[in-house]
Structure 1
């Protein structure tokens, strides 16, 4: 393979012959410069017939307008399958990631990462990420923590993530991550778009998609039987829209959307059958440590409990069907997170229960200046009229008809999906 990767110029396409290629370390490709209309393309001659095994995958460093397509990565998960380091306009598409995880990993094992202060406008699309057990994320779009600069304007779309194994509440098993602790806490923006992905049985921990940066969009994804929640963990002004989040299996912890931070918009999502509570609730507005959009407690001063109370967030036009209770603040004071959600709007939502449920539809703890208007509810066992939150809703007398939005399927995503948009 080494000989094929020499003298790569704009417009060059290299078709790697079928076979299994064993690496003795990361294969680093540096300074490759394609052009917008003439990218450099490295692809399997026959998609899925070129397998990378051995110690590691590829590092692309300081590259632009490059495409990596059609490989199967089965290398040792001790090192990344693909790292984009200070790259722009690099596309990683139609690959399969199923690296070999060690029984006793030496450190967190991330499979595909985007790093570096100069990274941006990369695309990770139509890949399949298969079964993860060890600590680390299948996909981590980061940047440079030390320089406090996020990779920006990256796109994660039409990928298939499946079987991130439940880690019994051990931290560090997020399926998709953006940003980082200091990047998020200091308010850095990444403008990442995560859309049209299918996640099945991705249950590593209570943060399923963990957003630790500002100004991101998570839209039109399908999540099926995933423990945990889409979590706006650190950062502000995120948009979570048009997602379909469904649990069809029995069991605890199937969650929805969790908010920390300022001015997020949660709109037009459909959630059904979710069983999670508190941090994994179908909707969670959790108290925070801070009442400001950023904090100077970063670096050595960073506290794992760092979070900003949900503030001026808008939750509108969403539908919950046969879900556990929506969580608004905590009923009892939490000394670690003493600041309650503040100034949020809950409007024009539908909450529907067609089956008896002993738990309330809403758990209302301490919140400040919450506006709840225009919502509609139906429950086969409606609450007493004097319940604190019952006035948020107009109560339907007859069971409403709710049509489930189209789910993404395996035909829509992954290496064999149609090109689409």
Structure 2
């Protein structure tokens, strides 16, 4: 009986472990990707790689994901010019682990999505424990990690983004026909990002959810951005840019950032338990029915800004939507110049600054914030607690 039990245990162990495919070239990777099964691993050998472009379209399972990993964490290093996605992940239950992207120069191509990693129409896939440092792009609004297509429940976590320049680090794409749902961006560190050189000082967000707040801001992506650290992120005025609806921003930490957590568009987002220390701003709000609660702010010019718009509500089209029906509660503000500003960008004139044929909007920001509930906030050692 004991021999039988031991034999069965050995068989179980053998079945539970998948195969490992060690690769050194895109060709070897593609061959492995074509045959991997749930529980298998593709191991990228330690070394430096240039000109790499590979894709995987396979399906693991919740208990047996397909693993793509560095032989040793941080020792499989991708660098040099990039003219198409270094790694494109479709399929489901695929995990990318321990890769490093250092000094890559991404060049925009007409017919290719040029990113370092893209989860494209993927489901339950993950990019974890990867490093992205000193990477650059040659065109505005290019991300280095993208979540796109009609996917769901993908995750970017425990990665480090440092010293990247002129790019967006993580982008969740929201299109007219496709949106990736329930993306989780958590426990990452974003740091030491210099200001972009692009016109309008635009296109250098660390995290961007949605790209067209005017026409597509009503689309719900249900993205969660939580437990991340943003240190000296100065790429542009929006460290995080929300341009879709139904998203959550929870327990993120911002230190000495030249930018804000911005509800640029969209509605019904939760901004809860985030911390801001130093820098140029805290939270900026346009749109409707956002909940801003339990956040802490210290040493800022303005902690929370509720903005004017060109339109109001969810039905009207406006380049900016006035902040309305939002809840601003139980926030702690100290050592700021202004605690809560009700009425940012009053009567700002945008004439000639956007295409009114594409965006049929008035150009004057003259609709004041309205019907917002501001209560239970603790404001101390601040010159002007609430400015209206």
Structure-2-length-normalised TM-score: 0.81
Question: Aligned to 2:275, which of 225, 236, 244?
Answer: 244
Mapped contact 1:185–1:294 kept (Cα < 8 A): no
Paired position in structure 2 for 1:310:
323
Q: Do structure 1's residue 197 and structure 2's residue 222 form an aligned pair?
A: no
Aligned twin of 2:379: 351
Give secondary structure in 1 for the equivalent of 2:235.
coil
Count of aligned pairs between the two proteins: 334
- Counterpart in the other structure of 1:90: 125
The structure showing larger relative contact order (alpha-carbon pairs under 8 Å, at least 6 residues apart) is: 1
User: Does structure 1 residue 101 correspond to structure 2 residue 136?
Assistant: yes
Distance verdict in 2 for CA 1:182–1:344, change over 3 Å: closer
Instruction: Name structure 2 gaps, 5 residues minimum.
Output: 1-23, 108-113, 350-363
| Structure 1 residues 86-235: aligned runs within 5 Å | 86-101=121-136, 105-116=138-149, 118-134=150-166, 136-143=167-174, 145-147=175-177, 149-167=178-196, 170-181=201-212, 185-235=216-266
Please list every run of 5 or more consecutive structure 1 residues that lacks an aligned counterpart in the other structure. 248-252, 276-280, 298-304, 365-421
In 1, Cα distance between equivalents of 2:308 and 2:153 = 34
Task: Indicate the residue corresponding to 2:336 in structure 1.
Answer: 323
Q: Please tell me whether residue 27 in structure 1 is matched to residue 54 in structure 2.
A: yes
Instruction: Measure, in 1, the Cα distance between the counterparts of 2:284 and 2:217.
Output: 20
Is this contact kept in 2: 1:323–1:353, CA < 8 A?
yes
- Tell me, in whole angstroms, the C-alpha distance in 1 between the residues paired with 2:281 and 2:145: 25
Q: CA deviation at 1:170?
A: 0.8
> How far apart are the structure 2 equivalents of 1:207 and 1:182?
14
Contact 2:135 2:164 in 1 (8 A): no
2:312 paired residue number = 291
How has the CA–CA distance of structure 1 residues 331 and 209 changed in structure 2, closer, same or farther, with 3 Å as cutoff?
Answer: closer
Q: CA deviation at 1:101?
A: 2.1
- SS of match in other structure, 1:181: coil
> Could you give the per-residue CA deviations for residues 236-256 of structure 1, whole angstroms, max 9, x where no partner exists?
110000111101xxxxx6110
Partners of 1:48 and 1:114 in 2: CA distance: 22
Task: Please give the secondary structure, in 1, of the residue aligned with 2:163.
Answer: strand
Task: Report the CA distance shift for 1:294/1:142 in structure 2 as closer, same or farther (over 3 A).
Answer: farther
- For residues 284 and 77 of structure 2, the distance between their equivalents in structure 1, rounded to whole angstroms, comes to 38
SS at match of 1:3: helix
Inter-partner Cα distance in structure 1 for 2:216 and 2:289? 15
Corresponding residue for 2:72?
46
Instruction: Check 1:205–1:4 CA distance in 2 against 1; reply closer, same or farther (3 A cut).
Output: closer
**Counterpart residue number, 1:64:** 92
Deviation at residue 76 of structure 1 after TM alignment: 2.1
Does the CA-based 8 Å contact 2:183-2:223 persist in structure 1?
yes
Contact 2:242 2:265 in 1 (8 A): yes
CA deviation vs aligned residue, 1:192-251 (integer Å, no higher than 9, x gap): 00000010001222211100100000000111001111111111110000111101xxxx
Q: Which residue pairs with 2:387 in the alignment? A: 363
Provide the aligned C-alpha RMSD in A. Answer: 2.0
Distance in 1 separating the partners of 2:80 and 2:346: 52
- Distance in structure 1 (CA, Å) of the matches to 2:213 and 2:375: 33
Cα 1:332–1:292 change in 2 (3 A) is closer
Distance change in 2, residues 1:173/1:331 (3 Å): closer
Q: What's the secondary structure of 1:23's corresponding residue?
A: coil
Hey, what does 1:337 align to over in structure 2?
365
SS in 1 for 2:323: coil
**Aligned partners of 2:307 and 2:348: how far apart in 1?**
10
State the distance in 2 between where 1:332 and 1:91 align.
42
CA contact 1:223–1:245 (8 Å) conserved in 2: yes
Q: Work out the CA distance in 2 between the residues paired with 1:201 and 1:331.
A: 25
Tell me by how many angstroms 1:90 deviates: 0.8
What displacement does 1:60 show? 2.4
For the residue of structure 2 that corresponds to 1:227, the secondary structure is coil
Q: How many Å separate the matches in 1 of 2:203 and 2:120?
A: 22
Shift of 1:182: 5.3
TM-score normalised to structure 1 length: 0.75
